[in-house]
Amino acid sequence: MVKSGAQILVECLIEQGVDTIFGYPGGSVLPIYDALYDSKIRHILTRHEQGAAHAADGYARASGRPGVCLATSGPGATNLVTGIANAYMDSVPLVAITGQVVTSQLGKDSFQEADITGITLPVTKHNYLVKDVRELSRVVREAFYLATTGRPGPVLVDIPRDVSAGLTEHEDPGPVNLPGYKPVTEPSPARVSEAVQAILAAERPVIYAGGGVVNSGANAELLRFAELILAPVTATLMGLTGFPGDHPLSLGMLGMHGSKYANYAVCECDLLIAVGVRFDDRVTGRLDCFAREAKIIHIDIDPAEIGKNVRVDIPIVGDVKKTLRALCERLEPRLPGAWQEKIQRWKKEYPLTYEENGRLKPQQVIREIYRATGGRARVATDVGQHQMWTAQYYTFTRPRSFISSGGLGTMGFGLPAAIGVQVACPDEVVFSISGDGSIQMNIQEMATAVNYDLPVKIAVMDNGYLGMVRQWQELFYNRRYSCTELRNPDFVKLAEAYGAVGRRVTKPEEVAPVLQEALAVPKPVMIDFVIEREENVLPMVPPGESLDKMLG
Amino acid sequence: MRRTLAVLVENNPGVLARVAGLFSRRGFNIDSLAVGRTDNPAVSRMTIVVEGDDRTLEQVTKQLHKLIDVIKITDVTAEEYVDRELVLIKVSAEPGQRSEIAQIAEIFRARIVDLGRRTLTLECTGNEGKIRAFEESLRPYGIKELVRTGKIAMLRGSRYTGGNGKEEE
C-alpha cells in the first residue's frame, strides 16, 4: 500500500507504543501534523518548543517510557536544543522529531533552515537526517531502540518536508541491525567475584547510588543489596529516588549540598560502591580527596564512564539491576558493627537543620508540601536553591518521583517537566517547585497546563533574587549582588490571567491551609511563597574543596 | 606517546564530523587522520594517529565506541603492523639542480611525477621516518608546496580487521 512519509512516521510511533507527543507546528512539519490529525496519538501543544522538549523529558522520567517531542525546522528545532542537551546530560530516553526544509533546498540557507543534526551532534546519543522516505521506518525504529537501550539518551530525527510528504510503498524494515551498537548488560562474572571479595573484606562500605539505579529500575535490588551488606546508601541528585529516603541506611544526598553525614561517610569509607553514577564534580568536590581511603567498585552500563574522572579498582560494565542481582546471589547477610554505629551517631549529631525565626523559611515550605502530600507526590523542580532544598527536605520514597535537571542545570525545566509528568501520571499529585527566577524562564507553559486541565501545583520560592547566584556572591564575591535582584510580576495575578488559581503565602502558619486548599482544587494552582530573602542552602562544600570541608 | 588506531565506521553521511567533533570536544589531539572506504562500500576505515598517555587513549577508544557509526577500533600500535604515508612535494629546481634532485629521489625510491619550468614535483611513499628524511633532504632546494595523506596502517601477518567488522583470524 502506498503511504506518505508522515503516515509511515505516525504508524511507526504507534508501533513503538507512543501515546503522547509534545510539540509545536510549523511550515516544515505540516505533513506530519496533517497525519496526526486523524491518529489516536494525543498531541499536547506547548507554548514554546523548549517546553515541548522538557515536557517530553518529564514524561519519560516519570513513566520510564521514551518521551517524544516534535518541532518544525529552523527556530523550532533550535528551540528544542536546550531540552535535548538536558536529556542527554541526565540520560533520559527522548526522541525529538524535527521538520526540515525540502531536500533540494538543504544547505542553501533557505527560509527556516538550520543544520539541526550538526547542531545537536554533541548533545544527542545519535541523530539522523532522513533524505529518502524509504528509510524513514527503519530510522524511527532505530531511534527508539537507541534512545531506550544501553545508557538511555536523546535521539533526533530530522525529516525534510518532501520526505514526510513523499509517497512510497511501505515495507517492514525488519529488526534493528546496528553493528556498531552492542551494549553490554551482563556483568563479567570475574569482576563480580572481585567485587564480592572486596565487599567481604571491607569494614566501612558505602554505596553511592545514581541515576543508573532509577533508569535500570533497580530499586528493589539496591534495597536488598544494601540491607544484605548493611552499607549506608548516599545518592546523587539523579539517584535520590533509587533508595527510600526514610530507610535507616539512607544518608540522603552527597556532594556540594549533601548532608554532613553522607559526606563524612564517603570521606571515611574503605570501600565505595558506585552504582550507576559518573563522579560529577558537584558530587566529588576536590577529586584527589574524594573517598581517599577507599577502594572503588564502579558499576555502570556505559564503559566510557569508568575511569573517566576517577581511577577505579574494580570496574563492572553492565546493567545495574543485573549486576546487583549477581552480587546479592553471592553475599551473606552481615551483622552491624562499629561502622553502622558511627553512621547512626553522625546522623544524630549532624542532622539537616535550619533556623526557625518566625519568618517564612523555604525548608519549612518543602517539609509542609511533604506532609500535605504524604510524601507521595511527583515533584519536579527547576534549578537553584529551591532545587537543593527540595532534594534535602522532601524525603523521596517512590521511584521516579523526583524530576529534576541534574547535569545541565536548566532553569525553566520545572514547569514544562511537571506538565509532562502530569500527562504521564494523570491520577497523581504533581508539584512543580520553582524559584522566582526559574519559573519565569518558561512561564508561558501555564497556558498549556490550563489548556489541557493539568492540575499541576506550582510552588514558587520567591525571595526576589536569583538565590543560588546571590548565595555564591555572598560567600565568594563579598556580597556584591551583581545583577541578581529581581523585580517580579504579581504571581497571583499572573496565575489568574492564565486562568489558573493564584495564592500568596507570607507567614509560616499560612503554609498548611493554603496547601490543603491547592490540593483540593482540580486546577493548576500557583502559590507565591514569599520566603526569607537571604536564606542559604547549607551545608555547602565550596567549589574545588574536599567534601569534609563543609560550611554551615 | 603516539598511537595509531584503525577505526571501522559505517559509511554514513556525517560520520567524519562525528569523529572529528568528538576529538575536539573532549580535547584529544589528532596528529593525522586518513579516511576512505574499504572493500565493503558500506564501511569506511579511518586511520587516526593520536597523541596521549594510556589513560587518554582508553578514553579516546571508549568515547569512539559510543558513536553508533563506529563498528570496531583496533590499536595497531599494540601489535606488529605496517604503516605508510604518501607525500607530494613541489620543490624549486633550476635546470642545473634537476639531476641532483633526481638522485635524492632515487635514494628514497621516490618518483618525479611532474615538471615545471623551475620546479619538480615528487611523490614518495613510506613510513613517517622516511617521509621526514625525504622532506629534510629536499628542504635546501626550497619546498614550494607539500601535501601528505596522513598515515594508513595494517596489522602484519594473517591477522586482519575485516571490512565487514567481523573478527580477525
Same fold, B2-78 and B82-152: yes
Cβ partners under 8 Å of residue A499, min gap 6: A447, A450
pLDDT at B162: 65
What would the mean pLDDT of B138-167 be, rounded to a whole number?
A: 84
* A118 Cβ under 8 Å from any chain B Cβ: yes
* B166 Cβ under 8 Å from any chain A Cβ: no
Given an 8 Å threshold on Cβ–Cβ distance, is B63 in contact with A126? no
For B20-47, letters b (16+ CB in 10 Å) and e give eebbeeeebeeebbbbeebeeeebbbbb
Given an 8 Å threshold on Cβ–Cβ distance, is A179 in contact with B62? no
Interface of B with A in 66-95 (CB under 8 A): 66-72
Residue with cell 603516539: B2
* B117 Cβ under 8 Å from any chain A Cβ: no
Nearest to B21 among A121, A306, A307 (CB): A121
Nearest to A179 among B25, B63, B71 (CB): B71
Q: How many CB atoms lie within 10 A of CB A522?
A: 8
Answer yes or no: is pLDDT of B134 > 50.
Answer: yes
Nearest to A117 among B14, B25, B68 (CB): B14
DSSP, collapsed to helix, strand or coil, labels residue A106 as coil
Q: Where are the domains of chain B?
A: 2-78, 82-152
Please report, in angstroms and rounded to a whole number, the separation of the first and last CA atoms in chain A. 69
The CATH number of domain B82-152, selected from 1.10.760.10, 3.30.70.1150, 3.50.4.10, 3.40.50.150: 3.30.70.1150
pLDDT at A341: 97
**Structure confidence at residue A349 as a pLDDT band (50, 70, 90):** very high
Query: In whole numbers, what is the pLDDT of chain B averaged over residues?
Result: 92
Query: In whole numbers, what is the pLDDT of chain A averaged over residues?
Result: 97
**Structure confidence at residue A310 as a pLDDT band (50, 70, 90):** very high
Answer yes or no: is pLDDT of B168 > 80.
Answer: no
Answer yes or no: is pLDDT of A167 > 60.
Answer: yes
Answer yes or no: is pLDDT of A25 > 50.
Answer: yes
Answer yes or no: is pLDDT of B161 > 50.
Answer: yes
Given an 8 Å threshold on Cβ–Cβ distance, is A180 in contact with B10? yes
Q: How far is the CA of A281 from the CAs of A250, A284, A285, A303, A390, in angstroms? A: 22, 5, 6, 19, 20
Given an 8 Å threshold on Cβ–Cβ distance, is A304 in contact with B63? yes
pLDDT at B145: 97
Interface of A with B in 273-292 (CB under 8 A): none
Nearest to B68 among A126, A306, A308 (CB): A126
Given an 8 Å threshold on Cβ–Cβ distance, is A180 in contact with B69? yes
- Tell me how far apart the alpha carbons of residues A475 and A481 are, in angstroms, rounded to a whole number: 11
Looking at chain A, which residue has its C-alpha nearest residue B24? A122
pLDDT at A393: 98
pLDDT at B159: 80
pLDDT at B163: 54
Nearest to B70 among A121, A180, A307 (CB): A180
pLDDT at A82: 98
Answer yes or no: is pLDDT of B165 > 50.
Answer: no
Answer yes or no: is pLDDT of A273 > 50.
Answer: yes
Question: pLDDT tens-digit profile of A449-501?
Answer: 999 999 999 999 999 999 999 999 999 999 999 999 999 999 999 999 999 99
Given an 8 Å threshold on Cβ–Cβ distance, is A117 in contact with B62? no
Q: Which fold has domain B2-78?
A: Alpha-Beta Plaits (3.30.70)
pTM (2 d.p.): 0.95
